[in-house]
Structure 1
Amino acid sequence: MAKILSERMLLSGDEAVALAALNAGVLLGTGYPGTPSTEILEAFGQLGGKAQWAPNEKVALEVGLGAAFAGARALVTMKHVGVNVAADVLFTAAYTGVTGGLLLISADDPGMASSQNEQDNRNYARAAGVIMLEPADSQQAYDFTGAGFAISEQFGLPVILRMTTRVCHSKSIVVPHPLVRGAAPTFKRDIPARVMIPAHARPAHRRLRDKLARAAVFAESCAQTLVEPRGKALGIITSGITAMHARDAAPDASILQLGLSYPLPINAIRDFVASVERCLVIEEGDPILVTELLAAGLKIEGKSERFRFGELNVDRVRRIIAGDESEEAKAPPGKPPMLCEGCSHRPVFETLRDMNCIVAGDIGCYTLGVLPPFSAMDTCVCMGASITVGLGLRHVLPFEEAKRVVSVIGDSTFVHSGLTGLAEMVYNPPATGHVLLILDNGTTAMTGQQEHAGTGRDLMHGASHKINFEEVCRAMGLKQVVTVDPMAGDGSLEAAITTALASGELAVIVARRPCILAAPKIRQYDKAAAEKLLARNAACSAAVVD
């Protein structure tokens, strides 16, 4: 059932997307938690939508694609680096097309508030050949989400809704309105469109390019191509959050906001450029628009290279307009992040530091082990890379150095992309063996204590099947698998690491202790699940007696 809830609501961009998804009749929301996208699925589930965490982003997009093949509307959420993981699916999904609307949220993080890079995922729309929408505030997040599903179904293509940290987390007024809902799901066999063998993929590529050509025509006059004519002296072409900065920085300028930013409405852009004396392209991140428009022979200007880095704001946009290349004021230093007092990761990194280990690290709270007073992490690249980077080090380093290498990965990250690294560890073991520490704190802590397949709880914290890491490791061929409590203070952690390093064999140490922040909630969830199971068993017993 659709939920309007109120005529006017103060919502974050993430909450607006969730509400729009519900009102648009989305039957499945799936994704992997990652700032700044996490709250979308949480809000969708709280509103009553079917929401679930996938082990990783590739799995999420595959599940969403399956739903879209069945004619259902599906919402798939992830942060920008998650699209890297899902790209294998995305590129071919553009060939297969979809029946039901498929909306992929790419939540980009300019300025790297909580990320290892600030890649600009507008590049993915162009590389994969899918339609992209970019909202500038919460109202547009609501509107563009509803439009995204309709556009996806109209052209039979996945649509990327690209958001950024400011749009995701800033709150603004939303006036919800009824949205057109999707059709009831049903599966219709279409082997040439769905089975991408080369004989089917070649014509599918031609169909894709035809769809994009039609989408470009649609973009010329669609509701997401927003022209705000004001003065003729200056015109600004922009997209996403930068449109808000441009309105504040240059209130007298005419603005063309490309809400549908790929494929480009080139004729509308050409007309806009011709309507102003000076036309400036202001875009956050890579110079994608300016490069394309210059290539199209349009007389436009772009920003200087210095403004490619970090987030834009009103002051920086004013500088771009004025051509001001003077040194920008440095932001005051913030308090560096740190592991919580009482965090179970602390003794792990203290031990690794004191043992002078070479530590291949991973993405999560435990990444903070790189900072003082631990300074006990030597590499951190991407999700799951701790195992495989550690193996690479082991394979080539001299013996005395190689035997000091340890890989450290968290529980959610292990489920996300550590399993394939474990397979590599077993299949191609270094001559010196290897040691893997799985830091299991019972939650996806860094992004706000979400569940995963190793917690035994679903997205809404209800009971679910729990993957047993120790059994998985043993099933994959590991002989040395031990479990320790890193907070026990009895020397068991140091003893386990010492034994594993000295063995010269493959070893896995599961350091298990609930996150100190999540532990009270986990106890509540487990108690509620136990009570629910007890009530269900009692009801079953009563039914048998009757």
Structure 2
Amino acid sequence: MLGILFLQKIRLREFNPLYLRILSHNKTIYHEKYFTQTCIIDVYSKNFLKGVSNMKKLLTGNEATARGAWEAGVHFASAYPGTPSTEILETMANYKEVYSEWAPNEKVAVEASVGASIAGARSLAAMKHVGMNVAADPIFTYAYLGVNGGYVVVTADDPGLHSSQNEQDNRYYARHAKMPLIEPSDSQEAKDFIKEAYEVSERFDVPVLFRLTTRICHSYSLVELEDRKEVEVKKYKRNIQKFVATPAANRVHHVELEEKLKKLEEYANNETKLNREEINSDEIGIITSGISYQYAKEVFGEDASYLKLGFTFPIPKEKIRNFAKKVKKIYVIEENEPFLETEIKALGIEVTGKDKIPLTGELNPDIIREALLGEKRETVQPNPEKIVARPPTLCSGCPHRGMFFELSKKKGAVITGDIGCYTLGSADPLNAMDTVICMGAGVSAAHGFAKVFERTNQKRKVFGVVGDSTFFHSGITSLLDIVYNKSNATIIILDNRITAMTGHQENPGTGYSLMREKTDEVDFEKLVRAIGIKHVRTINPNNLDEVKESIDETMELEEPSVIITRYPCVLKKLHEEEKEEFAPVQHIYKVNTEKCSKCKMCLKIGCPSISFDKETGAYIDPNSCVGCSVCAQVCTFDAIEKVGV
């Protein structure tokens, strides 16, 4: 059984610059390359073909990266889920030859995979770009030590901040940590390049940084599958001088690393096929990498020559100098920071880059065309007066809604938030969040606020809000800070039984691993009590009386406290163990228009299932209502009634 959802033989025609759309079983797939050939396409399936060579398949960049690592003989992979990188490990979990796991955070993922690498296995860690900030400590040190089994860190950057709090350019981590940097431009390259990354890692005794971006991670293109290369786990030999990072040892390792970088630059100039020239014209030359290469090709086509860099650090200086001699004018096209441009200008080569191409946001062909050629394509212009603002909101039935509704009533209280879908509690009409900084800061910042208010005699209550997965990621140590330094902040752990925002990944609180194995489930109450919290309460967040009572209990406390809201995400597929505790609701709610006073109180909970008409009053969409009952509890006129059992 090959596990193919759908197999179809079609003729792919040239659609440049349009995307090819393939419709199959109500599934729309886009791929960003065009082909003129007859081929077999295996439409996306979670059951990936194994041991089948020379078959082409539509894969996202994330799926192709996992496939390439599997083909390269990887044995160990660890990650913390984060868009746009999440699907790398989800895909890897389908390959049973690889041990795959969700780690509590990116630092742990790197440390665990480094341990596996030192033990002799080809290993991988994956994360979104801000995860590199969390994992930087072990990454920088491992660059000094060198590897045993090949080691690759995948960073998935997010130009345009589609799902992130910043758009940092992690290519600078390669230079800062002194690691070779490899960047693919599509799914085929993602699969092929990561295989070379492991060869580079073991040949030069270095960890490798493998950079993707959102557009590559989530776009489909054809990939030719190959068999797995079985790479034996190398024998582990105890080597204190190499793997114990003492100052004395690392003074030597630093010198050795600088020598490795010189050899890597020679490799980038003379050996690797990841850096290549495409000579078409002597008028315009374009130096580019990653997805920017695809955009440049769409704009300039055969009217320009290209130096496409896939191995971008150490930068191939001689290759760049030779290319510059072949063209009259050079454009450097890259997203975000002038990483390549700065290096090229340092070589004394005159180029056009960020003086015309935007420094911020995600690039696309239209932006490049207008910036460099002064051409603007005609497009349909929307009428701004007819565009309805549709900001994101908590889902109908979201278990976080009741908590934020009650917190919003506590005027003068400060609510420090965290990274997760509950960040939407900051939006109107709930408007129940003061800060969002990074993973775990919902807890730590609450402590900082509370201490300042205490020392300046301000009687203001501070609540820190953090999700279950985020608490495991960074909140535990922050809560230790609160206990140790005697803060009176109240921390609210929103346990919706899954890592919801990134697509429902398991975490230490769900009882299941990435590889779908049952495991021990962390008990939040026992954990926070062990840390030193004495005032702990677990509540049903859809019961507003419980929510209000638990908040009020903490208002005058002179000690730290924790409230745990335990109720699954409304979109979660319940485990068998959860079905008894959280029996599916069989009813919904409707508005009795005769009782509705049109007070609009129900609108204050921000439920997308509730709308309002001036003539008839409130209305609940029966197609999206999930029967959480929060609206019925806030209605003071009993106008919202249960329908069903």
| Common fold: TM-score over 0.5 | yes
Displacement of 1:362: 0.2
Rate the CA distance shift 1:162–1:329 in 2: closer, same or farther, 3 A.
Answer: farther
Report whether the alignment pairs 1:439 with 2:487.
no
What aligned pairs does 1:347-496 form with structure 2 within 5 A after superposition?
347-356=402-411, 357-397=413-453, 401=458, 403-430=460-487, 433-489=488-544, 491-496=545-550
8 Å Cα contact 2:277/2:306 also seen in 1: yes
Rate the CA distance shift 1:439–1:526 in 2: closer, same or farther, 3 A.
Answer: same
Match of 1:38 among 80, 86, 91: 86
8 Å Cα contact 1:461/1:525 also seen in 2: no
Displacement of 1:184: 2.3
What aligned pairs does 1:180-191 form with structure 2 within 5 A after superposition?
180-191=229-240
Matched letter for residue 390 of structure 2: K
8 Å Cα contact 2:512/2:519 also seen in 1: yes
8 Å Cα contact 2:357/2:368 also seen in 1: no
C-alpha separation in 2, matches of 1:401 and 1:321: 56
What aligned pairs does 1:511-530 form with structure 2 within 5 A after superposition?
511-518=565-572, 520-523=573-576
Displacement of 1:303: 2.5
Report whether the alignment pairs 1:263 with 2:314.
yes
Which structure features the higher share of helix residues? Answer: 1
8 Å Cα contact 1:390/1:407 also seen in 2: yes
Point out where structure 2 has 5 or more consecutive residues left out of the alignment. Answer: 1-48, 581-645
C-alpha separation in 2, matches of 1:452 and 1:482: 21
CA offset digits 1:365-388 (Å, max 9, x no partner):
100101111111110000000111
Point out where structure 1 has 5 or more consecutive residues left out of the alignment. Answer: 528-546
SS in 1 for 2:156: strand
8 Å Cα contact 1:273/1:299 also seen in 2: no
Moved over 6 A (4+): 328-334, 524-527
C-alpha separation in 2, matches of 1:32 and 1:12: 19
Rate the CA distance shift 1:414–1:5 in 2: closer, same or farther, 3 A.
Answer: farther
C-alpha separation in 2, matches of 1:28 and 1:67: 7
C-alpha separation in 2, matches of 1:227 and 1:306: 22
8 Å Cα contact 1:31/1:52 also seen in 2: yes
Report whether the alignment pairs 1:250 with 2:306.
no
Matched letter for residue 470 of structure 2: T
Task: Indicate the residue corresponding to 2:11 in structure 1.
Answer: none
C-alpha separation in 2, matches of 1:197 and 1:386: 35
CA offset digits 1:397-431 (Å, max 9, x no partner):
2667553211000000000000110110011123x
SS in 2 for 1:173: strand
CA offset digits 1:156-190 (Å, max 9, x no partner):
11111100000000000111234654332321112
Task: Indicate the residue corresponding to 1:127 in structure 2.
Answer: 176
8 Å Cα contact 2:357/2:371 also seen in 1: no
C-alpha separation in 1, matches of 2:357 and 2:283: 25
C-alpha separation in 1, matches of 2:148 and 2:293: 32
Task: Indicate the residue corresponding to 2:371 in structure 1.
Answer: 320
8 Å Cα contact 1:304/1:320 also seen in 2: no
Rate the CA distance shift 1:257–1:401 in 2: closer, same or farther, 3 A.
Answer: farther
Task: Indicate the residue corresponding to 2:562 in structure 1.
Answer: 508
Report whether the alignment pairs 1:341 with 2:396.
yes
Alpha carbon RMSD of aligned pairs, Å? 2.2
Report whether the alignment pairs 1:220 with 2:274.
no
Instruction: Count the aligned residue pairs.
Output: 523
Matched letter for residue 259 of structure 2: D
Task: Indicate the residue corresponding to 2:290 in structure 1.
Answer: 240
Displacement of 1:526: 7.8
Report whether the alignment pairs 1:153 with 2:202.
yes
C-alpha separation in 2, matches of 1:351 and 1:299: 60
CA offset digits 1:281-332 (Å, max 9, x no partner):
1110101111111112112221237611111111111123226799x99998
C-alpha separation in 2, matches of 1:377 and 1:109: 25
C-alpha separation in 1, matches of 2:322 and 2:577: 60
What aligned pairs does 1:283-294 form with structure 2 within 5 A after superposition?
283-294=334-345
Displacement of 1:469: 1.3
SS in 2 for 1:363: coil
Matched letter for residue 240 of structure 1: G
Match of 1:22 among 65, 70, 76: 70
Matched letter for residue 481 of structure 1: V
8 Å Cα contact 1:2/1:23 also seen in 2: no
SS in 2 for 1:93: helix
C-alpha separation in 2, matches of 1:448 and 1:142: 23
Deviates more, 1:332-341 or 1:443-452: 332-341
Task: Indicate the residue corresponding to 1:82 in structure 2.
Answer: 131
Matched letter for residue 266 of structure 1: K
Deviates more, 1:55-64 or 1:40-49: 40-49
C-alpha separation in 2, matches of 1:330 and 1:158: 48
Deviates more, 1:123-132 or 1:352-361: 352-361
Displacement of 1:107: 0.3
8 Å Cα contact 1:363/1:382 also seen in 2: yes
Query: Larger relative CO (CA 8 A, sep 6+): 1 or 2?
Result: 1
C-alpha separation in 2, matches of 1:36 and 1:3: 28
Instruction: Give the TM-score, by structure 1 length.
Output: 0.92
8 Å Cα contact 2:148/2:234 also seen in 1: no
Report whether the alignment pairs 1:276 with 2:324.
no
CA offset digits 1:317-354 (Å, max 9, x no partner):
1123226799x999987732111110000001101101
Rate the CA distance shift 1:22–1:137 in 2: closer, same or farther, 3 A.
Answer: same
C-alpha separation in 1, matches of 2:204 and 2:144: 12
Task: Indicate the residue corresponding to 2:52 in structure 1.
Answer: 4
SS in 2 for 1:308: coil
Identity %, equivalent residues: 43
CA offset digits 1:218-240 (Å, max 9, x no partner):
00131100211111110000010
Matched letter for residue 478 of structure 2: G
Rate the CA distance shift 1:322–1:149 in 2: closer, same or farther, 3 A.
Answer: same
